[in-house]
Amino acid sequence: MDKSKRQVVIAGNWKMNKNAEETKALLAEMTTAIKDADCKVLLCVPAINISTAVEATKDSIIEIGAQNCHWAANGAYTGEISADMLKSFGIKYAIIGHSERRQYFGETDKTVNMRALACHENGITPIICVGENLEEREKDITKDVIKTQITEGLANFTKQQLHNTIIAYEPVWAIGTGKTATAQQAEEVCAYIRELLGELFCPMCAQKVTIQYGGSMNAANAKELLSMPNIDGGLIGGASLKATDFNTIVESAK
Ligand code: 13P
């Protein structure tokens, strides 16, 4: 199967940025700038701004996603948000296992798996983040790290659930550092992820999975990264907070 058969997804991750007023203002700019696209365009905003963002984008091609989702249906989990709650706002995508959640909030491959399965039960596509840190890259164990994250993060997935999953390869050393992986480095790992999914599920199933690259993707480097055979989109932090830059990235996917 060739790349054009996979859905290209350009997703912004606003992380912990923008209050309610700022969210409205930036989305007004975004909806004006981004009128047509050959790909799915998604903005994952802080949970508290989801309803504001959904309202602000209701007549636009931009979809709103979440940045996390708890595994339990409900219960005594102060501060957490369930997949059912996200679904009730029409949310269809949630970032799961971002490296910042792994680093600062104790996220593990096991909790990534539980959160992703809760997403699937509620018709939400998890965007599962994987990636090595600098030390792991320097030790030349990138593939081992990715293999564990994918195998454990996607444990007990059915083929159908795999089909409704996006993988985001985000090398930790490239996030927010301005240091992008070269297109070749990114392609090598994304191709490896696809090969692994082929072994774990089936080669044909793996061909249908959208694999994004994330880590200092910007208006200048997006085109080259997105032209690689196994890179089907981007997960963009900093550059998704600027309407013109984000629009350029969306345009690069055409
Ligand atoms: P930057 O694009 O700011 O490097 O962030 C990438 C990222 O973490 C997206 O999830």
**pLDDT tens-place values along the chain, 254 residues long:** 578 779 999 999 999 999 999 999 999 999 999 999 999 999 999 999 999 999 999 999 999 999 999 999 999 999 999 999 999 999 999 999 999 999 999 999 999 999 999 999 999 999 999 999 999 999 999 999 999 999 999 999 999 999 999 999 999 999 988 888 899 999 999 999 999 999 999 999 999 999 999 999 999 999 999 999 999 999 999 999 999 999 999 999 98
User: What CATH number is associated with residue 186?
Assistant: 3.20.20.70
Domain residues for 63? Answer: 6-252
**DSSP helix, strand, coil percent of the chain (3-state; round to 5):** 45, 15, 35
- Tell me whether residue 80 is in a domain: yes
pLDDT of 28:
98
Q: Which long-range contacts (CB under 8 A, 24 or more apart) does 145-151 make?
A: 146/189, 146/192, 146/193, 146/196, 147/196, 148/109, 149/97, 149/109, 149/112, 150/193, 150/196, 150/197, 150/200, 151/196, 151/200
**Residue 98: active-site member:** yes
pLDDT of 4:
77
pLDDT of 1:
58
- Tell me whether residue 160 is in a domain: yes
Q: For residue 251, give every residue at least 6 positions away whose Cβ sits within 8 Å of its Cβ, in sequence order, or none.
A: 37
- Tell me whether residue 28 is in a domain: yes
Separation between Cα atoms, residue 40 and residue 88, nearest integer Å: 21
Q: Which long-range contacts (CB under 8 A, 24 or more apart) does 227-231 make?
A: 227/183, 228/183, 228/186, 228/187, 228/190, 229/3, 229/187, 229/191, 230/3, 230/187, 230/190, 230/191, 230/193, 230/194, 231/183, 231/186, 231/187, 231/190
Which among 198, 195, 192 is positioned nearest to 213, based on CA atoms? Answer: 192
pLDDT of 179:
83
Q: For residue 191, give every residue at least 6 positions away whose Cβ sits within 8 Å of its Cβ, in sequence order, or none.
A: 229, 230
**Residue 170: active-site member:** yes
pLDDT of 59:
96
CA of 76 relative to ligand 1 center, distance in Å = 31
- Tell me whether residue 142 is in a domain: yes
CA of 16 relative to ligand 1 center, distance in Å = 12
User: Could you tell me if 203 and 182 are in contact, meaning their C-beta atoms sit under 8 angstroms apart?
Assistant: no
- Tell me whether residue 233 is in a domain: yes
- Tell me whether residue 34 is in a domain: yes
DSSP state of 5: G
pLDDT of 166:
98
Domain count for the chain:
1
Q: Using CA positions, which residue lies closest to atom 7 of ligand 1?
A: 237
User: Could you tell me if 222 and 246 are in contact, meaning their C-beta atoms sit under 8 angstroms apart?
Assistant: no
- Tell me whether residue 1 is in a domain: no
> Which of 127, 216, 240, 245 is the best mutation target for the ligand 1 pocket, counting ligand atoms within 8 Å of the beta carbon and taking the most?
216
